[in-house]
Amino acid sequence: MGISVEFSHHEGAPGQQEIDLRFADALSMADNVMTFRYVIKEVALEEGVRATFMPKPFGQHPGSAMHTHMSLFEGDVNAFHSPDDPLQLSDVGKSFIAGILEHASEISAVTNQWVNSYKRLVQGGEAPTAASWGAANRSALVRVPMYTRTKPRRGASRCAAPTRPVTPT
């Protein structure tokens, strides 16, 4: 099918997996996500089990989310990267994050459409409960992954219903 998986590992809830698809342009990624979800559900049914992408299937366990990693290039140059910044994040990257945080309420209305979506947004569940950003902070609405100090920067939106917008400083 041509859908590349970067890596996969077990998450905190029973039967919960995190599966990271390799980056692609926006339209190809949208197609890949829909195809991937369909195939996972069909394979599960053939095996006599069910696969779900429900945000909070079990009240006592962590929920599931779809983290969207975003990057911006100007030609071949990563516009989010700055070697001089402590987080290696450029002013363009910080402004991009500020824009997401400014419109977080509106974005959340689209990305969290169901009651079950909001059930995962609780303190202590590694889900965002406020419009915030940070590095290596799994409860932030926007997280700058810190895989290595030399890898290009990108932002990961963790799709939450924020209580109020804030901007990076």
For residue range 94-124, list pLDDT tens digits in order.
999 999 999 999 988 888 888 888 888 888 7
Please report which confidence band the pLDDT of residue 159 belongs to, taking 50, 70 and 90 as the band edges: low
pLDDT for 59 equals 86
What are the tokens at 43? 């394979």
Confidence band, pLDDT 50/70/90 cuts, at residue 5: very high
Do 106 and 132 lie in one domain? The reply is: yes
Cα angle 17-20-24, degrees, rounded to a multiple of 5: 155
Rounded distance, CA 12 to CA 17, Å? 8
Query: Quick one: 166 and 127 in the same domain?
Result: yes
Mean pLDDT, residues 139-143 taken together: 87
Asked if 126 contacts 139 with a C-beta cutoff of 8 angstroms, the reply is yes
Distance CA 146, CA 85 (A): 13
| Segment 21-70, tens digit of pLDDT | 998 888 999 999 999 999 999 999 999 999 998 888 888 888 888 888 88
pLDDT greater than 60 at residue 166: no
Helix (H, G, I), strand (E, B) or coil at 83: coil
Domain hosting 30: range is 1-53
Task: Give the total number of structural domains in the chain.
Answer: 2
The whole-angstrom separation of Cα 8 and Cα 1 is: 18
Question: Residue 41 domain-assigned?
Answer: yes
